[in-house]
Every structure is written in C-alpha cells, then in structure tokens.
A = this chain, B = another copy of it.
C-alpha cells in the first residue's frame, strides 16, 4: 500500500517544499530518489545515524560505485541528517517530541510524494531503564506519556488533541525474537516518553529539583509496577504519528543505566558505544531477514513467470524477468 498523507490541502499545492529536510517536489525527483524506500530508521544524533547507514550498507551488501561515499541528503537544511542506503533511510530526529514531530510530518509527505509502499519505521534509541541494567535491549509494546496516558498530546488551533499511540505487534515480537537470538538481554514492555530529561524523568541532578530521593524512588517504583521498562523522549509522538499515517512502526532502545540505582551516566565511552550498537544490530537483522524474504519471493515469482513464458515464447529476452533489486543479495 502506498504511503499517504492525510491532508487534502497538500494535493492542491503546486509545490511542496519540505523545509527542515531540504527537499521539495519542484526541486527534486522524489519518486526516483525515494520510491524504493522500505525501511525508515530514526535515532537521536546525526553521528549515530551516519554510523547506522554505514553499518547497514555492509550488512545488506549494498555497494556504491567506486569513489563514491554516503552523503547527508539533508545537509543544507542544517536540521536533520538523512542517509539513504538502497531501501533503507537513516535519519536523525534530534531530541524530544517537537523535533521528532517536525521530521515525521516531512518524512511521511516525502514518502507519499515518492510513491513508496509499505515502509516499516523504526526508532533506534537510548533510554534510562527501570529495574534493568545498562546494555539491556527494550522493545516497546506500548508508549505512555509522563502522566501515564497512552497518548500523544498535541495542540491544534489552540485546542488540546490526544492521539492514540500504536506500535506494530508483529514487528515488535520479531524484534524481541531477533534480540534474543543475538544473545542480548532483551525485554518488551511499556516505554514512558517525557518532555524533559531531568525533572521530567525524576532525576535528582538537574538545575532544579524540589523533591526528595524518596519521592523520586516512589515515582520510579510506580512506573515499575505499571510495567514500564524504560524512559525516553520521543516514543509517544513516534507511535502516534506513524499510526495516524497508517505505516508500521516499532521502537528499540538500549538501556544506558538503571534509574532505580542512579541518575548520572558515567559508563565508559567504549562500553556505551557497544551498547548503542545493539538496537542497530537488532534492526539490521530485521531488515536483512525481510530483504531476504522479499528476494526469495521475487525469485520465486520470476521463476514462475519464466516457466509460464517459456511455454509460449522460447525466444523472449528473459533477463527482463531477473529481479532488479540486487541489493537484496547477501
């Protein structure tokens, strides 16, 4: 199914310029550039998403022409970084719901303008764990806001609007299985999305704090009892806006510390880097698996067509039947 924006006004526009990612319908051939996108991977920093782009390139055996390297497609916007590796987009979303929200609007329109079909969206992130040690992989089954409501609250024309947060159950379960098959300690559960890292997450080490350690622990224990596994800052908007657009989505975060034990992140850079790679590895495994499935389907279909054709025309140039999606081989 083609990606669709849910906005009748956009259809009337002569041109749509996606300001924050620096791409437009009048300035770029979006179908040619992005029509083949099947996986949209998002994470906080440009650095991490560039790393993921290079990682997934190796994982799926995607080859650039000699002398070419990946380039940030949105570099002129100075807002987000976007890399494309065949059917995979790797994009930084910055920190917090508003930053992610701008990007979601523009990426959904981008894929709709491009005529992309059935993409799966992933958020690959970092988080604070509730009763989980650093390095644990958390796949979100449900996302709730700081007030424990399973909604993305937004304001439209001055009025509060609450949107349901829905993640894809099938993709979520597969990601848990893949994490376990890679011997990562992995759990599925609820994720809390806050709008502040310090007071918003009950930390004792912000510039402001007028609660006690007992208050903090009481709050974190309440989250624990409600099935919360981790806290981050983008999940509700990610789950609500992908759901509103009708695209499949899942969230995989690594835990950087156990919030029941502390607030400060003091793990060494090397260990942190290894932990941060875990969600990337899990999502890469999902992508590889599904590209292989697609490849097998294409091959089977091509074989069927070839058999059918050969009954009637033995002289046809059957190279036209070969799947063109060569990046699927690995």
Interface residues of A (CB under 8 A from B): 5-10, 13, 15-17, 19-20, 44-48, 78-79, 94-99, 101-102, 104-106, 108-109, 112, 145-148, 154-161, 194-200, 202, 204-211, 213, 215-216, 219, 222, 233, 241, 244-245, 264-266
Contacts and interface: CB of A to CB of B under 8 A. Distances in A.
A110 to B, nearest CB: 9
Contact of A7 (B98, B145, B154, B208): B208
Contacts of A156: 199-200, 202, 211
Contact of A204 (B9, B47, B158, B207): B9
B215 A9 contact: no
A101 B197 contact: yes
Contacts of A108: 207
A105 B145 CA distance: 21
B264 A105 contact: no
Contacts of A147: 155, 158-160
A206 B7 contact: yes
A323 to B, nearest CB: 31
A96 B100 CA distance: 9
B157 A109 contact: no
A233 B98 contact: yes
B210 A6 contact: yes
A78 B95 CA distance: 11
B244 A208 contact: yes
7 contacts: A7-B206, A8-B209, A17-B264, A98-B200, A105-B208, A145-B155, A157-B202
Contact of A209 (B6, B94, B219): B6
Nearest to A196: B101
A97 B95 contact: no
A244 B196 CA distance: 15
A216 B197 CA distance: 33
Nearest to A146: B155
Given A95-B79, A102-B95, A5 B208 contact: yes
Contact of A45 (B47, B78, B194, B233): B78
A207 B95 contact: no
Nearest to A19: B265
Contacts of A161: 199
